[in-house]
Amino acid sequence: MDFTFDDRQLAFRDSIRKFLMVEAAPEMLRETWETTASGRSAELRTKLAQHGLTALSVPEELGGLNLGDLDWVLIHQELGYFAIPDSLVATAYLGVDLLKGLLAENSLGRAWLPRVAAGSARIAVSHPINLFVADAKNAELLLLWHEDEVHALHPGQVQLRLNPSIDQSRRLYKVEWTPSDATRVCKAALGGKLWTGVIDRAGLAISAQLIGLAQRMLDLGVDHAAQRKQFGRPIGSFQSVKHQLADVAVKIEFAEPVVHRAAYALANGDSRAAVYVSQARLVAGEAALLAARRSIQVHGAMGYTWEADLQMFMKRAWALDATWGDRKFHKARMARHVFADSAELGPGSTFLRAARPAIPRSSTRCGTDCA
């Protein structure tokens, strides 16, 4: 049992954190989001690729780093903390996951994975669990669900209608398209499995981003409370303000390990992975929503402005919490698990274990009870 990350994973996370702190400052992101149609910066994408973020889960022979969900989960938290828009996760985590699943079927993966790793292609992923497709117009390749099949289309083959979101980082599109034999890259038999994996990985990515967002909003609230003075002292010295922020710290503390267990389960093909992901979504969402509410309260009127950075992170938390399965979806999945007749729920069931060893009878008992 080892519930810690190794030094390499932590060092990589730290290096990404330092990089994003400098290169993805809020004012830079806001300018891109507010002044460009795409909402994306080619320059930032190049830098993300230079730091390996587009190559993380691409196989080595196709130009990637061949890392897994456990490496990703720490990075997802950073992507949340720095409000990196959806396109990176859709491309380098979800899109790559689908393409890797198709490697034995056709040449699509071999064609696209090296480009993704190099940072020269964006992928948009569409599944009916979402009403809209994020970054569809920014993508060179669209991977679309149709009756559990996977279809691959170029932007020229689809009709897109932009639906503005309150989260300025998001570029949401209604996608209209016609499935055909020519667009199909995978039949439903395999596709069903691949889409299940995509939903779970999207859930993991979002729950980890929500943890990062919660931490960011908490940090912003703490900074504001330490600096803002009223009645001659920092408002953060008042107990009622302290307690609002302490509650958020508690929520994060008890949500993060749930997210990390979900990552471990996905990385190891654990049969409970879907349930663990939903659990992670619920607790991480709760932490992020509380962080938003408490941080805006601590910010006072400043929190209600466009000017304060808090709004970027609040809106992203509100939006992500309802993406790739909203709370209703994930709560229903949890309820099916917890209220099932066969549910194994009590102490000792926290980690999936090999079949429980039957209690061996002691030899004395055995001698008298069973011949």
Partner 1 sequence: MRLEYTGGQELFRTEVREWLAANLPREPLHSLDTQSGFEQHRAWERKLSERGFSAVTWPAALGGRGCDLIEWLIFEEEYWAAGAPLRVNQNGVFLLAPTLMEYGTPEQKARFLPRMVRADDIWAQGWSEPGAGSDMAAIRCKAIRDNGHYVISGQKTWSTRAVWADWLFGLFRSQPDSKRHYGLTFLLLPLKAPGISIRPIQQLNGLTGFAEISFDEVRVPVENAVGEEGAGWSIAMAAAGFECGLMLHSPGHFQQTARALVELYRRHRESADCDPAIRDAVLRSWIGAEAYALATYRTACRLAKGGQIGAEASTNKICWSELDLLMHETAMAILGSRAELMPHAPDAAGVGHWLDGFLFAQAGPICAGTNEIQRNLIAERMLGLPRA
- Summarize as ranges the residues that interact with partner 1 (CB under 8 A): 1-6, 70, 218, 222, 225-226, 233-234, 236-239, 241-243, 245-247, 249-250, 253-258, 260-261, 264-265, 279, 282-283, 331, 334-335, 338-339, 343, 345-351, 353-354, 357, 359-360, 362, 365
CA distance 205 to 264: 13
Q: Minimum CB separation from partner 1 for residue 49, in Å?
A: 27
Q: Which residues pair with 186 in a beta bridge?
A: 150
Residue closer to partner 1 (CB basis): 194 or 245: 245
Residue closer to partner 1 (CB basis): 144 or 217: 217
Residue closer to partner 1 (CB basis): 176 or 369: 369
Residue closer to partner 1 (CB basis): 166 or 246: 246
Residue closer to partner 1 (CB basis): 27 or 341: 341
Crossing angle (nearest 10°) for helices 239-267 and 273-299: 160
Residue closer to partner 1 (CB basis): 104 or 354: 354
CA distance 328 to 129: 12
Q: Minimum CB separation from partner 1 for residue 249, in Å?
A: 5
Q: Minimum CB separation from partner 1 for residue 361, in Å?
A: 8
CA distance 268 to 278: 17
Q: One-letter amino acid identity for 150? A: V
Question: Which runs of consecutive H residues, i.e. helices, occur in 228-349?
Answer: 239-267, 273-299, 310-321, 327-338
Residue closer to partner 1 (CB basis): 35 or 271: 271
Q: Minimum CB separation from partner 1 for residue 359, in Å?
A: 5
State the DSSP code for 303. G
Pairing outcome for strands 159-163 and 149-153 = unpaired
Per DSSP, the residues of 55-97 read: TTTS-GGGTS----HHHHHHHHHHHHHTT--HHHHIIIIIIHH
CA distance 126 to 34: 25
Residue closer to partner 1 (CB basis): 164 or 357: 357
Angstrom distances, CA of residue 354 to CA of 26, 359, 361: 47, 14, 20
CA distance 92 to 102: 15
Q: Minimum CB separation from partner 1 for residue 148, in Å?
A: 29
CA distance 206 to 323: 8
